Structure 1
Amino acid sequence: MTADRENPVARTPYGAVGGRWEQGVAVFRGIPYAAPPFGPRRFRPPVPPEPWDGVRDAGAFGPTAPKPPYSEAFAQYLSDPTVPGDDCLNLNVWTPDPAPGARLPVFVWLHGGALTRGSSAVPVYDGRTFARDGVVFVSVNHRLGVEGYGLFPDAPANPGLRDQLAALHWVHEAVGAFGGDPDRITLGGQSAGAISTGALIAAPRARGLVRRAVLQSGPPETTDRDKVRRMVRRMANRLKVPATAEAFAAVDRGQLLRVQADIGRLGSPILGGPAFGIVTDGDLVPRDPLEALTDGAAPGVDLLAGWTRDEYRLWLVPGGLLDRVDRLGAVALAGAMARCRCGGEVPRGYRALRPDAGTSEIVGQMVTDHLLRAPLHRLADGRTESSYVYEFAWPSGRPRMGACHALELGFVFDSADEPDARRLAGEDAPRELAAAMHGAWVRFVSDGAPGWERWDERHPVRVFGDGEPHTAHGPRDRELALWAAAGTVTAAEGPVSGSAPELRSVVGRLRRGGALRRS
């Protein structure tokens, strides 16, 4: 890279790119790491981009993957910019030192959005603060929804995850030209980005590419193949085409997105439903990532993992689902029991631990523990030599949102007072909390030690936002012990036979009552 203060230039494996200096940081946006995934490449694994001559302008974010917009209820809390164009397999780089040989730590970020929404252009993901603090920050766009995670008989599975792997290979090969150290790459993400991170670090084909990993509010997991097939079949029925990649590729892209969004409204993080997700494929994902990681996959990879205290409130508050779950009472609780494949002893135990809680809190915490906290506990238990765990507990200034899913992002990026972060956090987010949390992430990315003790039999959890940052030992142990006492398997350990009819019955009652209209 040249250090021209007017226009920093770096040479990638496919050609030179020209970035911008912004607040003392060199920024390169919209760099292609693979060819546009359309035409004959639609639903296929990514291939390298065509090389170019001269210096390609990298001043603006590249196209985002096709995706439906958020509903009004969710859009008031979450932004999701759309950049038109086919060249959507691109990434961005923020670097403090645009000089080859600087050997700075690297943080590669995978966005959230349930694998159907989101992009690297979301303002809260601005990498300037990481670059300001000595980290080369890279954010990635990849295919989403049916384009990235549809399961077809005539196309390979997981093309969106394959995109991410291609981006990771690009970073490993090219980041030295931006001042990064290819031997000090941290891969991380939130929600769907964390799930993708878990799948990638467990993947044999990614071995040696990642030194550390950050999993925020998303465990290593795969989705049942039949669940994804049902989503594809329902779309095919609505479109009146065969459930094949060839047939879907012939459908107008806008119509495909509208049908995907409509079918997706029938699902819920609380009660499940049709959805897209990463599946085991015998190739990139040969087995369940959680099982692989607890069995010793990714040796030497340090882990930072955690959750927010009230994850469920982002799922329940927009659109009024929180109140409906409270009104439905026993019906909603039965739905949670079916979703979590447990008997009545588990919700009774939660009620005893939270005697003043409403049904929505009992349901929300049960599902969060089952789907997220229990698998992350299991992951840390299997990797005690290199795991750190946190909880984000600061309640949003927005009414009833609490310490909800995605709220911690503005603090991790030290941007909680920016307009995009205030959509979820409200006004007057504590600057000192953002500095503390961001500083811990910078330390972890830099040297693998965020500033508190590693996970062990005492279950140390660093709590951010409940007073001064402090370490609590086993703050979720009582709840998770209820599952063990009941002999209930976690979601990561596979389905329990016989739960599907009960779940369909409860979901039907909730749907007829309007409780699943969420996005």
Structure 2
Amino acid sequence: MTQAHQITRRTLMGSVAAFGAVAALPAFAKDFGSATTVVATSNGPVRGRFEADGVQAFKGLRYAAPPLGPLRFRAPQPLAKWSAVVDAATFGNAAIQSAGQPDAPFDETQSEDCLFLNVWTAGALTAKRPVMVWLHGGGFASGAAGRPTYWGDHFARDGVVLVSLNHRLNVFGFTQLPDSWGPDYASSGLAGMLDIVAALEWVKTNIAQFGGDPHNVTIFGESGGGAKVSLLLGMPVAKGLYHKAIIQSGAALDAAPRAYAQALGGALTEELAVIPGDVAALAAVAPQKVFAAQDAAMAKVSKRASHGFLIDGFVPSIDRRALPRGPFSPDAQDMVADVPLIIGTNRDEGTMFALGNTALASETDAGFEQFVKEKYAKQPNRIAAALRATYPGYAPGDLVTALNGNQMFWVDSIKLAERKLRQRAPVWMYRMDWEAPAAGGRLKAGHAVELSFVFGTYANVPDFVGTGPGPARMAAQMHPAWVAFAKTGNPQTAATPAWPRYDLARRQTMIFNLESRVESDPHADLRKLLVA
């Protein structure tokens, strides 16, 4: 397979919810910025700020102890209590990650000290409103909850308490140290996921103080965030902390094998010249040195171990405790039998990752067919024909991109839905088809395009989704469906046609577009060939 055809780990890490300059912020009501009443959390009192239309935002709330020094790579630890009122007016630090991400605000800061969450709510704080907990995308390596696409004010105005959070990423969140490091590091390869569990525990304990119902919590995420939702559905330690789930373009059936993850962790400490078990020496290494050592560690392991996992590097791994096995390999676990699910993808997932690949523009029919043969030794001619029929008018390079996108996101979304359907809770499937004008139209209905429609924040990211009536029309359909699901466990609203549950007989799928529709078994011929 040629390099021009590959979607690499690095391009997945670099995918973002939006690109280009963030829009100027809209004008707010006169009460914007005034302090809220003090809220007593289990850790201590906090005070947020009013936004437009009575929305109260509490930003940068700590939910676990800073994972610094001897706590590096360990599971999150309890937070020390405080007595003075904490001013929750600004977002907390993002996790350490690569700089220069185009959807990052100019004032975003990065640190190992990144265990912060945000709450948006509106109305009486004594109410019991449904809660939605957002897990950001960026693979397992980048992203942050405070980016303008993810602001929760629209959810709050529509009667949902929206929580978003930062957690450890990349080498800081997913380094599985070898057994020689002892029991404190037995689940170090899941530290970033255990951060999310700690945040969900904070929600269970505290969200009622913000007008939320801890017994009606929906977890949702996109791309890497969708994978995090998938993993939570396989983690016994998270059982009972959520009640519904939404996976957007991020189905994860499995996780990295422990042997591979431990080999990678050992390679990292070798690179840092830290001997096994020397906690003090590990704690003393500068964070940027740890971050910079990732690539060298991965290069060492790739030469001496073949692990067969599709997403390599510092990603969540099976520890046989917090994550006993892959969440949907070979099936869904019994503990989520009663958890309703929405799952879906965008029609042109691969375009986001192909925007910088100039070689695709000159791809030939023969090159496309060779690419299919390299991907699928069996029935390559049928698959190539099905792709052409599914995407009429697509050039050969666009067909390469379409197959890459389907492999990355659509195929596993179908598999996950099928496995979840063996349980009693309902599943709804969607596909988003609206084409954004970004990148001269090359993005099409690409990865992450739906995000600002779900959040209602499309005006914050016009360089990504464009202006005019299109984004508003899409948001008027998708945002209410997510709100309805949080409130009732059913995404049906008056804004869309009847949205039946997904089943194996008809596979009815909501196709979100300017005029949405329900389609039975969309792309059926391609599905039968790709989804084994």
TM-score (norm. length: structure 1): 0.82
Q: 1:435 aligns with which of 473, 476, 483?
A: 476
Q: Which amino acid aligns with 2:491?
A: P
* Cα offset, 1:272, TM superposition: 6.0
1:13 maps to: 42
1:255 maps to: 289
* Cα offset, 1:38, TM superposition: 0.9
Q: 1:445 aligns with which of 468, 473, 486?
A: 486
- Looking at structure 1, the residues matched to 337 and 449 of structure 2 have their Cα atoms a distance apart, in angstroms, of 31
Quick check: 1:80–1:118 contact (8 Å CA) kept in 2?
no
Alignment of 1:9-408 (within 5 A): 9-23=38-52, 24-70=54-100, 75-76=101-102, 82-100=108-126, 102-153=127-178, 154=181, 155=185, 156=187, 157-225=189-257, 228=261, 246=279, 249-260=283-294, 274-291=312-329, 294=332, 296-317=334-355, 320-321=356-357, 323-324=359-360, 326-327=362-363, 344-345=380-381, 347-353=383-389, 354=391, 356-384=393-421, 385-398=425-438, 399=440, 400-408=442-450
Q: Which amino acid aligns with 1:171?
A: V
Q: Which amino acid aligns with 1:392?
A: M
| Matched residue SS, 2:459 | coil
* Cα offset, 1:152, TM superposition: 1.7
1:475 and 2:522 equivalent? Answer: yes
Q: Which amino acid aligns with 2:132?
A: F
| Matched residue SS, 1:291 | coil
2:306 maps to: none
* Cα offset, 1:34, TM superposition: 0.3
Q: Which amino acid aligns with 2:527?
A: L
- Looking at structure 2, the residues matched to 18 and 323 of structure 1 have their Cα atoms a distance apart, in angstroms, of 53
Which is worse superposed, 151-160 or 236-245?
236-245
Quick check: 1:325–1:332 contact (8 Å CA) kept in 2?
no
| Matched residue SS, 1:289 | coil
- Looking at structure 2, the residues matched to 170 and 321 of structure 1 have their Cα atoms a distance apart, in angstroms, of 43
- Looking at structure 1, the residues matched to 294 and 369 of structure 2 have their Cα atoms a distance apart, in angstroms, of 28
| Matched residue SS, 1:188 | strand
Quick check: 2:247–2:343 contact (8 Å CA) kept in 1?
yes
- Looking at structure 2, the residues matched to 50 and 333 of structure 1 have their Cα atoms a distance apart, in angstroms, of 60
Quick check: 1:64–1:84 contact (8 Å CA) kept in 2?
yes
5+ long unaligned stretches in structure 2: 1-32, 303-308, 493-498
* Cα offset, 1:249, TM superposition: 4.3
Which is worse superposed, 448-457 or 161-170?
448-457
Identity of aligned residues (%): 31
Q: Which amino acid aligns with 2:452?
A: G
* Cα offset, 1:252, TM superposition: 2.1
Q: Could you report, residue by residue, the CA deviation over 1:404-463 in whole angstroms, capped at 9, with x for unpaired residues?
A: 111111111111122xx2232133343121111111111111111111111122111111
* Cα offset, 1:76, TM superposition: 4.5
* Cα offset, 1:109, TM superposition: 0.5
Q: Could you report, residue by residue, the CA deviation over 1:287-322 in whole angstroms, capped at 9, with x for unpaired residues?
A: 1111375354412111011111111111111xx215
Question: 1:468 and 1:334, CA in 2 relative to 1: closer, same or farther beyond 3 A?
Answer: same
Q: Which amino acid aligns with 2:287?
A: R
- Looking at structure 1, the residues matched to 277 and 445 of structure 2 have their Cα atoms a distance apart, in angstroms, of 41
Question: 1:40 and 1:234, CA in 2 relative to 1: closer, same or farther beyond 3 A?
Answer: closer
* Cα offset, 1:133, TM superposition: 0.2
Q: Could you report, residue by residue, the CA deviation over 1:316-344 in whole angstroms, capped at 9, with x for unpaired residues?
A: 11xx2153475487677666665678663
2:4 maps to: none
1:412 and 2:460 equivalent? Answer: no
Question: 1:244 and 1:152, CA in 2 relative to 1: closer, same or farther beyond 3 A?
Answer: farther
Q: Which amino acid aligns with 1:53?
A: S
- Looking at structure 2, the residues matched to 241 and 343 of structure 1 have their Cα atoms a distance apart, in angstroms, of 50
Q: Which amino acid aligns with 1:463?
A: I
Q: Which amino acid aligns with 1:51?
A: K
* Cα offset, 1:224, TM superposition: 3.0
Which is worse superposed, 444-453 or 289-298?
289-298
Question: 1:282 and 1:233, CA in 2 relative to 1: closer, same or farther beyond 3 A?
Answer: closer
Number of residue pairs aligned between Structure 1 and Structure 2: 469
5+ long unaligned stretches in structure 1: 490-519
Quick check: 2:134–2:164 contact (8 Å CA) kept in 1?
yes
Q: Which amino acid aligns with 1:111?
A: H
Q: Could you report, residue by residue, the CA deviation over 1:254-304 in whole angstroms, capped at 9, with x for unpaired residues?
A: 23334447888999xxx9674332222101111111137535441211101
